[in-house]
């Protein structure tokens, strides 16, 4: 088991290395050259020359790359052109917000998606099934940012939900980890916890739309397949009760592909977060990225893109490993 884990980790390293090479190349390909890009408006000839030296642009490409790698590993990505803060620091500050949003969105997607997919499969061909299928198809056809605006426009007012931001203006909540809910609980500031939750609702649902649709579809397809398997017939021939058959036989097998899907959908979340956070002015990494794009803040872009890929690779690796935990056929190696 441990060997499996280590092997997967080692497999991920070449991918990450190639990724770092590509990002390195990407920076070199930017208009005006990397130094100009990294300095933006503040570029003056001396500054450019300076930065060129720091980046080692006068040296062979290999050395440049290793300098870049060295800086990347120590977390030195320079300072943001927009905020003049070290990019790594920014990432640290705003990461918890996106994690909170992402987790909420994934919870929504899973808690609604899996039962919906199961019901759809169980009552296949019925009205509920057709409605659910239609909703999942529409769900992936709606542009996420448009959905966000619509929700702001149509739902915020009537439901009494905040349409922007992470925290109500004027609410002075103590911030320790910058996980709003966690902080509020730790300091027993319950109004802060409630406020954080309210601010998360709309963006989380908007962000959850695509993962929800996909999880529902995959659950449905998988459960349908399992329902036709011979061992379900065996389970029924044993006279087991319906709940037992459902839990131990149908779902235990049917949910396997769903686990993989959750991992893949984290990627959709990362991309979707950029759009959702922008629309809702929710200050997380997605917002940073969106702002960075608009203002051509290359230091930020470089770091965030690398970070996003890193997270995605790690999550998928975790998913792979967990698959080994839940499917015994994969385990024995």
Nearer to another protein, 9 or 176 (CB): 9
Q: How far apart are CA 104 and CA 112, in angstroms?
A: 12
Instruction: Specify whether the CB–CB gap between 264 and 270 falls below 8 A.
Output: no
Using the 8-state DSSP alphabet, how is residue 102 labeled? H
User: What's the min distance (Å) between Cβ of 172 and another protein?
Assistant: 30
Nearer to another protein, 155 or 185 (CB): 155
Nearer to another protein, 102 or 184 (CB): 102
* Other beta carbons within 10 Å of 173: 18
DSSP 244-261: HIIIIIIIHHHTHHHHHH
User: What's the min distance (Å) between Cβ of 65 and another protein?
Assistant: 16
Nearer to another protein, 169 or 332 (CB): 332
Binding residues for another protein (CB under 8 A): 14-16, 18-19, 22, 26, 29-32, 137-138, 140-146, 149, 153, 229-231, 233-242, 244, 248-249, 252-253, 256, 267-268, 270-272, 274-275, 278, 289-290, 293-294, 296, 301, 305, 308-309, 312-313, 316, 326-329, 332
Largest CA distance in the chain: 82
Q: Which token pair is 266?
A: 């984290």
Q: How far apart are CA 184 and CA 242, in angstroms?
A: 43
End-to-end CA distance of the chain: 9
Instruction: Specify whether the CB–CB gap between 178 and 256 falls below 8 A.
Output: no
User: What's the min distance (Å) between Cβ of 247 and another protein?
Assistant: 11
Nearer to another protein, 42 or 247 (CB): 247
Nearer to another protein, 58 or 153 (CB): 153
Within 8 A by CB and 6+ apart from 170, the residues are: none
Q: What residues form DSSP beta bridges with 86?
A: 79
User: What's the min distance (Å) between Cβ of 267 and another protein?
Assistant: 4
Q: How far apart are CA 310 and CA 288, in angstroms?
A: 17
User: What's the min distance (Å) between Cβ of 182 and another protein?
Assistant: 25
Nearer to another protein, 149 or 185 (CB): 149
User: What's the min distance (Å) between Cβ of 62 and another protein?
Assistant: 19
User: What's the min distance (Å) between Cβ of 189 and another protein?
Assistant: 33
């Amino acid at each position: 088991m441990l060997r499996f884990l280590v092997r997967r980790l080692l497999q991920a390293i070449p991918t990450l290395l190639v990724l770092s090479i590509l990002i390195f190349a990407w920076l070199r390909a930017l208009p005006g050259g990397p130094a100009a890009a990294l300095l933006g408006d503040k570029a003056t000839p001396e500054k450019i020359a300076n930065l060129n030296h720091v980046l080692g642009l006068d040296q062979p490409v290999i050395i440049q790359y290793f300098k870049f790698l060295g800086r990347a590993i120590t977390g030195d990505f320079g300072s943001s052109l927009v905020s003049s803060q070290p990019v790594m620091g920014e990432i640290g500050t705003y990461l918890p917000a996106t994690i909170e949003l992402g987790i909420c969105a994934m919870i929504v997607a899973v808690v609604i998606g899996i039962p919906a997919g199961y019901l759809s499969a169980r009552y296949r061909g019925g009205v509920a099934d057709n409605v659910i299928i239609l909703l999942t198809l529409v769900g992936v056809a709606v542009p996420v940012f448009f959905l966000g605006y619509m929700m702001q426009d149509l739902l915020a007012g009537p439901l009494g939900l905040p349409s922007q931001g992470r925290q109500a203006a004027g609410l002075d909540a103590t911030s320790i980890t910058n996980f709003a809910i966690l902080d509020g609980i730790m300091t027993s500031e319950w109004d802060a916890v409630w406020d954080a939750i309210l601010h998360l609702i709309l963006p989380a649902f908007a962000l959850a739309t695509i993962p929800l649709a996909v999880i529902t579809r995959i659950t449905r397809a998988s459960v349908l397949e399992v329902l036709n398997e011979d061992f379900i017939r065996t389970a029924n021939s044993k006279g087991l009760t319906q709940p037992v058959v459902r839990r131990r036989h149908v779902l235990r097998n049917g949910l396997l592909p769903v686990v993989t899907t959750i991992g893949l959908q984290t990627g959709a979340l990362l991309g979707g977060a950029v759009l959702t956070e922008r629309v809702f002015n929710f200050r997380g990494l997605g917002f940073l990225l969106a702002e960075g794009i608009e203002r051509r803040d290359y230091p930020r872009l470089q770091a965030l893109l690398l970070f996003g890929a890193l997270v995605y690779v790690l999550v998928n690796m975790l998913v792979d490993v967990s698959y080994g935990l839940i499917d015994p056929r994969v385990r024995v190696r």
